[in-house]
Structure 1
């Protein structure tokens, strides 16, 4: 069954109508022409307007359709699934904000904060690009996850392949399924393998390889539960590796503290990290 506007986020319903109907007039344009027809007094002119209202003008006569833009966001501890007009599916993590721009020759997403999973519909005529801070991912049709933290973008590819680039590099890297790429401070880093079949962020799991403790804290603060205070500079840069559940920040941080040499203190609803 063909999807209807109800299948899509309200912010993007008009985009579906625009792309599906770009060869004929919109309802608003038809109503406008009918209003003009009523104001016409000469029979000949009224007849022309009536024919236009009945059969519709070619879209080319009206100029190119404008880009369609929608902003999507989630609160802390909230997730949101969205289906875009072309069949692309998004799943926003907590405390995530992104903007979707649909144009005639391109599909662009800007991830301002947070993380999202993308299952992109194949459309060679309109490449799909995600920008996140100093990093950029370009695809035609694939499934991948992007996480943006301060100065860093991580992308894990589950199907197909993406091309990862940084704003400060002329170099870009192709990252296939089962590999994770990243951009740090505008520079592309080497990709590493991961198990694309294992449970991931969508099921409450996180795989990291050399992620700063400060960035892990930012990811934990998107979830529900106590707020974790940003660690001091020396501790924030501590590289963390492993596979963890992220739905219980106190237990995770206490476990990591025993391994990496820091302690966790709780005051009211806040967790504070400090060196041993």
Structure 2
């Protein structure tokens, strides 16, 4: 077989793994994969090799398997090829690695003074779980900051930067509000995440529903709002329900997009809560952007031809080297380590090995 033919089969095998990652395959997908595997023994061995390689790199690409109940192992027979899927327990496998690389702090919130404000901050590659005095929890993601202000009238949090997931204990008498610049999310008993990305505010609801509003004046200082139960200049925009994702443009005070997302996509989007990052056919530039949030290493894509290269896999947060290895071995990307804080990515060629 020529090098070109081998590269073609490798790319197709990687594409199959990326396509099937995170969702049970349809009947048509099973048939298509059977046909692909049946083309030659090279196809069969290559998909085995790629799956095994990713497992050895601890970059876990799951071949989706339809099973009736959760199990530690499932076997999928496709075209005579028996693919054994190991369902790894988070804390027993990947989770230990993730927890070792990212400091996850569990901090209770107790305020003897009803008007006291407490600021919580995470550094790059750090997470922090805060348990509030009403039982609600806040999980701060990497490089994030939030100020908590609980009074007898209201439960108010200001997200200064970054991303957080909120699991709210129901108490209609004390509204739970999250302010982020010109945006405000109001919840009663629900679970949702808020992500500040430049001028955009992204809200994803996993349980219940929240009310998203625009605030007349940007909240530049938590002291301008905290300690009050009412807020002036609020425009209610939309109710976001479980399974929905909405992006709010704070510059123009308008909804940029709103979509209903299936459970698999929600799990992938919020996998950071488990110390993991899941990708299913995401373009390389998006993968690099997301992983860069958890490291001080600057990753630069020099070759515009690979910016949209589709990547599928499951990475432990902080394991940047594992991602580099996966890109080199499975996606034909050259990784040049310029220094300890700078990495360049380009298309690999036979004469230019990675450095």
Q: By how many angstroms is 1:184 displaced? A: 2.9
Q: 1:74-223 to 2 correspondence within 5 Å?
A: 74-167=122-215, 170=235, 172-185=237-250, 186-188=253-255, 189-195=257-263, 196=266, 200-206=271-277, 219-223=290-294
Cα distance in 2 for residues equivalent to 1:229 and 1:113 = 22
Q: 1:72 to 1:112 in 2, by over 3 A?
A: same
**Bigger RCO of structures 1 and 2 (CA < 8 A, at least 6 apart):** 2
Q: Deviations over 1:227-253 (max 9, x none)?
A: 225779x99x98x99885354446657
Q: 1:12-91 to 2 correspondence within 5 Å?
A: 12-13=109-110, 15=111, 17-18=112-113, 67-91=115-139
Q: Deviations over 1:163-205 (max 9, x none)?
A: 2234589461211112222223443221331314667211234
2:284 touches 2:311 (CA, 8 Å); kept in 1? no
Q: By how many angstroms is 1:161 displaced? A: 0.8
Q: Secondary structure at the match of 1:201?
A: helix
Cα distance in 2 for residues equivalent to 1:122 and 1:81 = 19
Cα distance in 1 for residues equivalent to 2:160 and 2:284 = 21
Structure 2-normalised TM-score?
Answer: 0.48
Cα distance in 1 for residues equivalent to 2:158 and 2:283 = 23
1:254 touches 1:263 (CA, 8 Å); kept in 2? no
Q: By how many angstroms is 1:148 displaced? A: 1.6
Larger Rg: 1 or 2? 1
Deviating runs (4+, > 6 A) in structure 1? 211-216, 240-243, 253-257
Q: 1:248-259 to 2 correspondence within 5 Å?
A: 248-249=319-320, 252=323
Structure 1-normalised TM-score?
Answer: 0.60
1:150 touches 1:215 (CA, 8 Å); kept in 2? no
2:335 touches 2:346 (CA, 8 Å); kept in 1? no
What is the aligned residue count? 216
Q: Deviations over 1:26-75 (max 9, x none)?
A: xxxxxxxxxxxxxxxxxxxxxxxxxxxxxxxxxxxxxxxxx221000112
Cα distance in 2 for residues equivalent to 1:179 and 1:256 = 32
Gaps of 5+ in 1: 1-6, 20-66
Gaps of 5+ in 2: 1-105, 217-233, 348-355
Q: 1:214 to 1:254 in 2, by over 3 A?
A: same
1:180 touches 1:194 (CA, 8 Å); kept in 2? no
